Amino acid sequence: MSAPAVRVRFAPSPTGMFHVGGARSALYNWAVARQSGGTFVLRIEDTDAARNKPEWIDGIVNALSAIGINESDPAFEGPYFQSHNADRHREAAGQLRAAGKAYFCDCTREQVQERTGSQQLGYDGFCRERGLDWEAGRAMRFRTPDEGETVVVDLIRGEPAFPNSAIEDFVIARGDGTPVFLLANVVDDLDEGVTQVIRGEEHLSNTPKQQLLWEALGAQPPVWAHLPVIVNEKRQKLSKRRDKVALEDYLAEGFLPEAMVNYLMLLGWAPGDDREILPFEELQQLFRVENVNSSSAFFDIKKLTAFNGDYIRALGAEQFAAACAPWLAAPHAPWQPEAFDAAVFEKVAPLAQTRIAVLSEITAQVDFLFLDEPVADEASWAKAMKAGAAELLRDVRAVLATAAWTAEDLKTVLEKVGAEHGLKLGKAQAPIRVAVTGRTVGLPLFESMELLGRDRVLARLDAAAERLAA
């Protein structure tokens, strides 16, 4: 008998921005589905009506699309909505009770604590044999086996065993009759034919309970795989309260989707050689969930930024211009729309492309070309405008007034005037660069001056000289 077709699922809750940890889980599931010719099921777990918002659902679908998980792909199925399956959840709860595997309970937390003498949560099975029928306020509990253990076969963590005696008779339906997430999750996976559950390790503690429910419903549990937690530089779990964790934020800052995908795929897994910069199509074929490391994965923003820089430098000229376009227009650009000159940007783009690591940096690289006056960086001004800077500016300005206007000619002028002041070219450039561009670092100075034109360069040298004289 052939093995069933692989069906994995990604089941986010629409309660906020799309977490990078969720993006990694989605990508791992997507890779498994695509490489096996299987199916990736998107299920929106939207039963928490108080926290769910329609825009978060759109955000999930859009974020998945941004990282290449598209509804139009044959491997994609859904989205399904957990809230649409409520009747089936209730039916499963009734099935368990009819089979003697669940019962009603009217105990309060205080009553349990009084009986057990413990403040620790943990039900003592008091209502197991009371034969209560449903009434408002009575929860339904699963009857956990008293003996033995539940062994979870996990592709990443081996076969952790959980003594059944340590698993309380847990609630599967609330006092108002609505099934809890634990049961709904299992029923949905069962009905959707899920064969592998690949998710974050924070769900591992619930897995023995879910496995017991699968078995009690007469079904073979899926293959489990619990991914390592993602941590920050302090080895703390990534938290939206202190860390930047939303995929949307990284994309909005100018991280390329392809770079994000590449980096996220390597958070806990490696292709087995020294290569790191790989397209998803190749990563997808190489990925094996059983080779994911169980240790926590460090989200290194510096490394992600370096990845992104590599991807930016690999773009073709037209691709780079298109990628930069959102940052060259309002509201990102600091210049007036009519001031932007696409022909000038086309000339300077190859120079800028090698100098930025995220697309949002492009405006600081080229703003001096499209503003009436450069944005002055005060630290750069203080560093460059030392004693003798005013005289250097004056003498350079005098020669530039009649010099030939090519990058090579401009370099020759500055070398000559700098030498007259006892300065090598590197030292002579600093005050000129700050006067012309506003910063000590940036695009090549002489190519920038050539593009700016004689009148604008001379005006900026004059303005810098006036400031020094004030």
Give catalytic residue positions.
240
Task: State whether the Cα torsion 11-12-18-19 is positive or negative.
Answer: negative
d(CA 76, CA 70) in angstroms, rounded, equals 7
Instruction: Map 249-289 to HEC letters.
Output: HHHHHCCCHHHHHHHHHCCCCCCCCCCCCCCHHHHHHHCCH
Contact predicate 321/366, CB 8 Å: no
CB atoms under 10 Å from CB of 147, counted, come to 7
Q: Which is nearest to 8 in space by CA: 230, 263, 284, 205?
A: 284
d(CA 308, CA 358) in angstroms, rounded, equals 6
Task: State whether the Cα torsion 276-277-278-283 is positive or negative.
Answer: positive
324 labelled binding-site residue: no
105 labelled binding-site residue: yes
d(CA 223, CA 158) in angstroms, rounded, equals 11
45 labelled binding-site residue: no
d(CA 434, CA 444) in angstroms, rounded, equals 12
For residue 156, the number of C-alpha atoms closer than 13 Å in the C-beta half-sphere is 23
Alpha carbon of residue 24 to chain centroid: 8
127 labelled binding-site residue: yes
The bridge status of strand 171-173 relative to strand 230-231 is: unpaired
Binding site membership for Zn(2+): which residues?
Answer: 105, 107, 127, 129
Binding site membership: which residues?
Answer: 105, 107, 127, 129, 240
Binding site membership for ATP: which residues?
Answer: 240
